[in-house]
């Protein structure tokens, strides 16, 4: 590129900037202010399943080191306690009720589902791609397997992974029920496809090698795009059941098969960080690690642990929605333990802020920019968390207090119970939600009821995507 042409490109970029509202990346390299972003999303990993979050027998040296070098978030939540709506909230920065991606009838999408994340929704990938990022989705998607809803239709340049949960497309022998198949799995029980972009490259996917292949694909994408900003959404298929550790990790953990899977995910994190450092990207890369919801407790030792938190996947007690979360980036993440409130919906506006991309102004967002917290320059603006189960708000947290309007067992055991006197907990004093203090604080209950009414007034009905078959 000649000097004259470079000058002309810079002038042209400066002229266009006010009109497009996003940073223009020079043709011969990255914008130095745009960090690479790698978002690692575990599936059904509990709050207490990593060493740094308190597990006594699962060894996670790589996650532990990331937390010590970066930030450990202790009050970080998801949008809902199950897969599909949780991922919709993550990808859009909006509660899934706003996109039709939650249902009281069908909790997630299935292989026979006809719906998915609508094209009208803007994803993190779509926004970052417009800001000059190369984008990749590697792993589980679960936001619609049909073409209008797949990763390539939602801003991802490249996709390798499975379209929905690893327990779907069941082909069970006579006499083997679902619970038995997931507890003592065989690869042949689950005919889940592995796709590269829109081509099925393996069916059933060999789940004993899938964590390693996700890792290899992530490292390859890093190496191929190290000279320009990139966004990688790496969504592990596990520890969602069925559990399939690779031969290198099988039988290695004191925690059994579940521990084997977590320790392999920890290995994967270590390999990715190693690749970041080997390519000289550690000062300009943000890594975020979290999970889509809490542990699937009905699978006993094949499910995880929420540690001191009550409940698990599927429910609106803390164990269902508060997730183990770590943020690492030596160039701009200030190390520490963060007790501020945060959610996966906050990642959309935060990533936009870091990339220099303006948040769209034509819709309501439920996320907050937490980049100042990441950089150690401020506190989180978030003070409220809504606990949705399906299409209803079951509980609200504001500050230290959490009020349950409705309770229901995570799976089985009865329907929703609307509480005549809501349950109130002080989560700073009682994170396990053991001591109901509602009778002592009627003023808090009145405040939360008003807050719920105000929130529900912001919900506009849309077509339900999970009920389309």
Catalytic residue set: 83, 142
Question: How many Cα neighbours within 13 Å face the side chain of 425?
Answer: 20
Q: What CA–CA distances, in Å, run from 244 to 204, 255, 256, 264, 306?
A: 13, 14, 12, 10, 21
Gap between the Cα atoms of 381 and 370, Å rounded: 7
């Amino acid at each position: 590129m000649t000097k004259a042409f470079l000058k002309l490109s810079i002038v042209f970029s400066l002229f266009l900037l006010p009109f497009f509202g996003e940073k223009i990346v020079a043709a011969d390299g990255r914008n130095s202010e745009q960090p690479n972003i790698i978002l690692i999303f575990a599936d059904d990993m509990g709050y207490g399943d990593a060493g740094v979050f308190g597990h006594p027998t699962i060894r996670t040296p790589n996650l532990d080191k990331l937390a010590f070098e970066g930030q450990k978030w202790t009050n970080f939540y998801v949008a809902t306690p199950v897969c599909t709506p949780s991922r919709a909230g993550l990808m859009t920065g909006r509660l899934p009720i706003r996109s039709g991606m939650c249902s009281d009838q069908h909790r997630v999408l299935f292989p026979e589902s006809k719906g998915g994340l609508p094209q009208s929704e803007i994803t993190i990938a779509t926004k970052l791609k417009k800001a000059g990022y190369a984008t990749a989705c590697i792993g589980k998607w679960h936001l619609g397997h049909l073409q209008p809803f797949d990763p390539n239709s939602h801003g991802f340049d490249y996709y390798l992974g499975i379209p929905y949960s690893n327990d779907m497309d069941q082909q069970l022998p006579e006499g083997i029920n679902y619970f038995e198949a997931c507890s003592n799995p065989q690869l042949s029980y689950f005919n889940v496809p592995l796709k590269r972009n829109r081509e099925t490259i393996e069916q059933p996917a060999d789940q004993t090698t899938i964590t390693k292949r996700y890792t290899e694909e992530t490292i390859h994408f890093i190496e191929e795009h190290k000279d320009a900003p990139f966004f990688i959404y790496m969504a592990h298929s596990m520890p969602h059941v069925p559990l399939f550790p690779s031969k290198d990790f099988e039988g290695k953990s004191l925690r059994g098969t579940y521990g084997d899977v977590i320790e392999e995910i920890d290995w994967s994190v270590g390999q990715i960080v190693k690749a970041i450092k080997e390519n000289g990207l550690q000062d300009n890369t943000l890594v975020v690690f979290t999970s889509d919801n809490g542990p699937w407790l009905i699978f006993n030792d094949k499910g995880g642990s929420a540690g001191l938190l009550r409940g698990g996947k599927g429910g609106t007690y803390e164990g269902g929605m508060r997730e183990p979360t770590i943020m690492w980036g030596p160039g701009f993440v200030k190390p520490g333990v963060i007790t501020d409130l945060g959610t996966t919906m906050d990642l959309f506006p935060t990533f936009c802020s870091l990339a220099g991309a303006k948040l769209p102004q034509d819709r309501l967002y439920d996320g907050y920019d937490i980049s100042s917290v990441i950089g150690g320059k401020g506190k989180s603006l978030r003070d409220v968390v809504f606990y949705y189960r399906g299409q209803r708000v079951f509980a609200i947290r504001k500050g230290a207090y959490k009020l349950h309007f409705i309770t229901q067992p995570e799976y089985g055991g009865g329907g929703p119970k609307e509480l005549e006197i809501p349950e109130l907990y002080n989560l700073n004093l009682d994170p396990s939600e053991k001591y109901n203090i509602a009778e002592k604080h009627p003023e808090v209950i009145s405040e939360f009821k008003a807050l719920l009414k105000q929130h529900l007034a912001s919900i506009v009905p849309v077509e339900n995507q999970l009920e389309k078959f």
